[in-house]
Amino acid sequence: MRIPALVLTAALTATLPLSASAAESGLRVVTTGLDGPYEITLGPDGFIWTTEKSGLRVLRIDPRTGEKHVAATITDAVHTSQDGVLGMALRLPHVFLAYTYDSDPGPALQRRTKIVRFTAVDGLLRDPVDVIAGLPGGTDHQSARLVLGPDTKLYYTIGDQGANQFSQMCQPIEAQRLPVAAEVRAKDWSAYRGKVLRLNLDGSIPADNPVLDGVRSHVYTYGHRNAQGLVFGPTGILYSSEQGPKTDDEVNVIARGKNYGWPHVAGYRDDKAYVYGNWSAAPDCADLDYSDFVIPPSVPQTTESSWQSSFVPPIRTFHTVPSSHDFTDERSALRTSSGTSAGRPWHRQAWTTPGEAC
């Protein structure tokens, strides 16, 4: 997706010269023509750094003139949908970058994600060193937010990879699965789906990471769907924003070793407009036509309240609606090009604009 403009708020541009009209509005267009920007941050060098998910580049943008400088083109990155050049964290001269790549040397495309450390020299990224490779990667629910904590550790979000919905409907959600010792020894990170990771700068496992089910790994928290935001507050608290299914986008406080409930709970455990329909567990899953609104009888269903494990509820949710809410009417209002679906209450999964899963 190419966005038409990068717009910064007055808070970011307060020290920059603005026209009278721009100053009054609090907004101004800095630059245009970015090719799928994903991570945008103001660097300590005074430039705006951004990754281009689909452009497969890292740019430095002069906030005064909007002039774009290509810091790197990531030649081994791959992009189809929600994959590509994604999260970025700066500790100049080092730049940490997360992106999807092809881990299969043969003709088949085997998406994985890696975090790579570059060194910035004269505005260009050089000398790439893999911090960690072989992380889960795909085309949906990558999350892929990367931040450097006040403890000098890297924090990285990995989504559930779009499991149990749409084309991945027969793939189980593994947000609750924790790695076993043998997987960690083998550097098999497949259990990292639906997690927030905490890593040393060299990619090793911090000695003070939580021990979960008897195993210490990179996993810091688990039970996540698609944590698309990650930031440390001024007091050192780690916050995350997370996309829910049709309801219950979340803001969470990320706490060491905690479970955040997905896929058994979306938002609060209130049994409102969400049940967990486990398509992947249906004996006839491969023969079913996925529906975003109606769960067939062969698909197991559980309510939020029937899952009694402890979890950390969000500090706030958005778009929490009663079970009687008709999502098909809502879709009709937004999807002007796709026609009208029969009015039926929704039970399970997400929808967004045509061609892109939430």
Are residues 250 and 241 in contact, defined by beta-carbon separation less than 8 angstroms?
yes
Question: Which residue is catalytic, options 69, 94, 141, 224?
Answer: 141
Polymer length of the chain: 358
* Contact indicator for 191, 183 with CB cutoff of 8 Å: yes
CA-based end-to-end distance of the chain: 15
Distances (CA, A) of 14 to 28, 32, 50, 65, 232: 11, 20, 20, 15, 22
Place of tokens 């026609």: 339
Active site residue 224: no
Tokens 């969000």 correspond to 314
Cα distance between residue 98 and residue 110, in whole Å: 16
Beta bridge partners of 259: 222
Beta bridge partners of 120: 125
How far is Cα 35 from Cα 49, in angstroms, rounded to an integer?
Answer: 14
Q: Cβ contacts of residue 354 below 8 Å, gap of 6+?
A: 335, 337, 338
- The DSSP call for residue 157 is E
C-alpha neighbours within 13 Å on the C-beta side of residue 7: 9
Q: What stretch of H or E contains 217?
A: none
Rounded to 5 degrees, φ, ψ at 273 are: 60, 20
CB 238 within 8 A of CB 253: yes
* Residues annotated catalytic, as ranges: 141
